[in-house]
Amino acid sequence: MSERGLWSYENRLLVLLGLSFGVAFFDRNAASILVPSIEKDLALSNTQVGLLASGLSVTWALGAYLIARWSDARGSRKPFLLSFLLIFSACSFISGLAHTFPVLLLSRMVMGAVEGPFLPVCLAIMAVESSEHRRGLNAGIMQNFFAAVLGQSLAPPLLTALALHYGWRSAFYLAGIPGLLCALAVLLWVREPARAPGATANQAVDFGSGEHMGLIAMLGVRNIFLCCAISVFMVAWFVIGWAFYSRFFVDYRHFSQSTTGTLMTVLGIASAVAAFVCPAISDRIGRRPVMVAFCLLGVTTPLAALYFHGSPLVLGGLLFIGWLGSGSFPLYMGVIPGETIPRRFSGTAMGLVVGAGEVVGGTGINTLGGVLADRSTLATPLLMSVGCCVVGAVLSLFLLETAPVKVRAAGSVPAAAGAS
């Protein structure tokens, strides 16, 4: 095929970056999946098990902002991608070699520090290389589809089987190999995106010619602030789901383990489908209405889990429909920030949004949900996730439109790039 056909650079890049992020998400989930074997071997307490997850989350958030900002300041992407892939692969090997909790924790925290900025840097590259009419779709496929297939659907059965047959250490060793292969592919086939110090196509406000934009100034941009706030609540909705649904179905609804496993698989499939549906619609009708609709759609999953008492098959369908709300993630984490401010700041903006969601939503609100569940019932965190979706939808109402198709229809420069 020609460069303009199926095998265009845009499509090759999409597959490679998507696979690379999927591998990163696979590695991130490895410790949580393998923890039943690890805790016996290393005699871990419940507190230490919790620290493995929260420690990685904190460094993931810090790295997402600080290292993505470093990438923006350097004006380069490819060297950072290569470093990320090599370091988190090495951390996976070190995790397998760990014979004490501090070594294991340190390896996971270093892994989080380089995996956190991986998504913002990949989204920044994809935004530059994407066709205008596919910007949302490409971001959705790169972020949601591959992460859902590799990190949510493939990782649990594969790593569990490896741990059972060869031990949890071997599972970590094998988990690190795909990252090295992706690093080689990035070295050979990814081009450094062209620098563009001028304004983006969607920029309405003059950000000046400076090469730096501080945290306060960035949060002063209306869409960036709103995307950070949306991230807090929608990431909390997502993390609460993966943290509590399995236990809720078994302990609260008294479903069998097999039924619960099937229902959780439905969520992974929904994430993969949402990668195509939500961003593609936003490319055609605009980002804001899709954000509002899909955030609201997310309430279907916790409400169905709580109150639907019919066939498990129908329940699975309702969970699937609600979990399509995860399709909003590429929009507020990547597409809208990238269309709002100049390209030279886009990695930092995306990293800030990812970091805000990870720390406040994924760690803070999710932890609060666990505390409240201990003091009441497992229904409480699910009710919290309903509220998170509603707040996310309300905040989305105030987003300023950035989709090129809507900007051209308005016949003016989009207000989306404006500061509040």
Give the integer Cα–Cα distance in Å for 180 and 77.
Answer: 18
**What is the per-residue pLDDT for 399?**
97
Specify whether the CB–CB gap between 179 and 92 falls below 8 A: yes
Does residue 413 register a pLDDT over 90? no
Distance between CA atoms of 293 and 303, rounded to whole angstroms?
A: 16
Q: How confident is the model at residue 211 (pLDDT cuts 50, 70, 90)?
A: low
Q: Does domain 10-192 have CATH number 3.30.479.30?
A: no
Residue 201 has pLDDT above 50, yes or no: no
Q: What pLDDT is recorded for position 415?
A: 41
For every residue of 222-241, DSSP letters joined together read HHHHHHHHHHHHHHHHHHHH
Per-residue pLDDT, averaged over 310-338, amounts to: 95
Residues 331 and 411 sit within 8 Å (Cβ to Cβ): no
CA atoms within 13 A on the CB side of 340: 32
Which tens digits make up the pLDDT trace of 29-78?
A: 888 778 878 888 998 887 787 788 778 888 988 999 999 999 998 989 99
Q: What is the pTM of this model?
A: 0.82
Of all residues in the chain, the percent with pLDDT exceeding 90 is: 55
pLDDT at 207 over 60: no
Q: Do domains 10-192 and 211-420 have the same CATH topology?
A: yes
In angstroms, the CA 14 to CA 363 distance is 30
Q: Could you give the dihedral angle defined by the CA atoms of residues 167, 168, 174 and 178, in that order, rounded to the nearest 10 degrees?
A: 160
- The total number of residues written for the chain in this structure: 420
Position 200 confidence tier, pLDDT thresholds 50, 70, 90:
very low
Q: How far is Cα 136 from Cα 294, in angstroms, rounded to an integer?
A: 14
Write down the domain spans for the chain. Answer: 10-192, 211-420
Please tell me the predicted confidence (pLDDT) of residue 40.
85
Alpha helices in 116-196 (DSSP H): 118-129, 135-140, 146, 155-166, 168-189
Second CATH level (architecture) for the domain 211-420: Up-down Bundle (1.20)
- Average pLDDT in the chain: 87
pLDDT score for 414: 43
User: Phi/psi class of residue 2: alpha, beta or left (left: φ > 0; alpha: ψ in -120 to 50)?
Assistant: beta
Per-residue confidence (pLDDT) for residue 44, from 0 to 100: 83
**Is 172 a residue whose pLDDT tops 50?**
yes
Q: Say what the pLDDT of residue 312 is.
A: 93
Phi, psi of 333 (to 5 degrees): -85, -30
Instruction: Render pLDDT for 99-130 as a digit per residue (tens, 0 to 9).
Output: 999 999 999 999 999 988 998 999 889 988 98
pLDDT score at 253? 93
